[in-house]
Amino acid sequence: MGGGGGARLGHWVVSYTGMSADNIKGLLLAVSSSLFIGASFIVKKKGLKKAGASGVRAGVGGYSYLLEPLWWIGMITMVVGEIANFAAYAFAPAILVTPLGALSIIISAVLARIILREKLHIFGVLGCILCVVGSTTIVLHAPQEREIESVAEVWDLATEPAFLLYAAVVLAAAFVLIFHFVPQYGQTHIMVYIGVCSLFGSLSVMSVKALGIALKLTFSGMNQLVYPQTWVFVLVVITCIVTQMNYLNKALDTFNTAVVSPIYYTMFTSLTILASVIMFKDWDRQNPTQIVTEMCGFVTILSGTFLLHKTKDMVDGVQPNLPIRIPKHAEEDAYGSEEIPLRSAADGIPLRSPRSTEGIPLRSAPDGIPLRSLRGTESFRSTG
């Protein structure tokens, strides 16, 4: 009786949303993944700050964060989220799962306000709403998952000329960034670290999807672990994820979280959708109206993330001069104390630069008369 009720509920959801049962499973897994990953950004950021305060910062090649428990909590949280994301790719197409990562930006923004004391302007709330609207649009118009019966079929898709060309271009661009641009511009240009993460990320998602399909088929009774292609995908996943984590740590430690999250999401999602369209031919099963609607939803998400970024640190319509790059000697929860005036212990008068004292009248000790310019004192004497 209970099984019949569940079947009727599933049929109702499929009928009224137009989504397949597998797409719904992928949707739920992707949403839970965003919750964990959004929280992990903040926890890892706190861990990196604590580690950087007592050792060599990750942004300049240090690995002291490996001894910081808070960083490991954030890492475990991210792993849980990635496992849920991994499972989502086994049930739903990448063009549905990947854009839902915008929800992690919303979670990150809310927690950054609470934990890192970063502000969230009213337009930031509007950015969150745009992300939700765009995600909903994509969910309702996403293509159905491609029917795949073995990992060998995925391997055939991955070795077609179009995707091989894409993979070659991605690897070439990533190696140029790593060996040429990272040493010179990694500490000053945010796109360098994030570019490496995003390029390898698009390949890792394709391999994760292939591995997820292999495990899904294996659990259903068709063992895919006997195929060497499965283990090739495992090797690619491990290599890409380790590289992503390394450069993501560098980006988070060097630049402001409010900048890293939306830019990384935008680049990573755009490249992943492109890779999925090339490899799995997602758009071959859709009409032009559905494709345009999906792209409108994606642009809406990008608009929301951009608005979140631009208004992240605005308060009452005023945007402070918040640096994109975090100063090396900044305090753990601040960006420096250059604007805090020093005070004299004797009289409590703020000590400013010599130029700032030019407008303050000096007084003589005997008579308390303000001493101004030479011309001013001459006129005073003549009247006396």
Q: What is the DSSP code (8-state) at residue 280?
A: T
Q: Please check the confidence at residue 175 and state whether its pLDDT lies above 90.
A: yes
Which distant-in-sequence residues (6+ apart) come within 8 Å of 57 by Cβ? 48, 51, 64, 253, 328
pLDDT for 63 equals 67
Angle at 285 between CA 283 and CA 291, to 5 degrees: 40
Q: Which of 25-39, 152-166, 305-319 has the highest mean pLDDT?
A: 152-166
pLDDT for 379 equals 42
**DSSP structure string for 310-364:** HTTT-BTTB-----SBPPTT--TTSS--TTSPEE-TTT-PEE--GGGGTTSPEE-
Confidence band of 156 (pLDDT split at 50, 70, 90): very high
Angle at 341 between CA 333 and CA 52, to 5 degrees: 25
pLDDT for 213 equals 92
* Lowest mean pLDDT segment, chosen from 63-67, 101-105, 221-225: 63-67
| Gap between the Cα atoms of 204 and 236, Å rounded | 7
Q: Is 363 exposed, middle or buried (0-12, 13-18, 19+ CB in 10 A)?
A: exposed
| Gap between the Cα atoms of 231 and 214, Å rounded | 10
Q: Which of 15-19, 135-139, 305-309 has the highest mean pLDDT?
A: 135-139
* Lowest mean pLDDT segment, chosen from 14-23, 33-42, 85-94, 280-289: 14-23
* Lowest mean pLDDT segment, chosen from 28-32, 85-89, 207-211, 329-333: 329-333
Q: What is the DSSP code (8-state) at residue 370?
A: E
pLDDT for 365 equals 46
pLDDT for 377 equals 43
338 vs 80, residue with greater confidence: 80
Mean pLDDT value across the chain: 76
pTM over 0.75: no
Percentage of the chain beyond pLDDT 70 is 71
| Cα Rg of the chain, angstroms | 28
pLDDT one-digit tens code per residue, 184-222: 998 888 899 999 999 999 999 999 999 999 999 999 889
59 vs 205, residue with greater confidence: 205
222: left (phi over 0), alpha (psi -120 to 50) or beta: beta
285 vs 314, residue with greater confidence: 285
pLDDT for 373 equals 44
Q: Please check the confidence at residue 254 and state whether its pLDDT lies above 90.
A: no
pLDDT for 327 equals 55
**DSSP structure string for 180-228:** IIHHHHTTT-HHHHHHHHHHHHHHHHHHHHHHHHHHHHHHTT---TTSH
Confidence band of 271 (pLDDT split at 50, 70, 90): very high
pLDDT for 74 equals 86
Residue with tokens 């560098």, as numbered in its chain:
250
pLDDT for 18 equals 62
* Lowest mean pLDDT segment, chosen from 119-123, 142-146, 206-210, 280-284: 119-123
Q: Please check the confidence at residue 61 and state whether its pLDDT lies above 90.
A: no
| Gap between the Cα atoms of 312 and 321, Å rounded | 12
pLDDT for 112 equals 77
Q: Please check the confidence at residue 359 and state whether its pLDDT lies above 60.
A: no
State both tokens at 161. Answer: 């000329």
pLDDT one-digit tens code per residue, 278-311: 998 888 878 899 899 999 999 998 888 778 767 6
340 vs 16, residue with greater confidence: 16
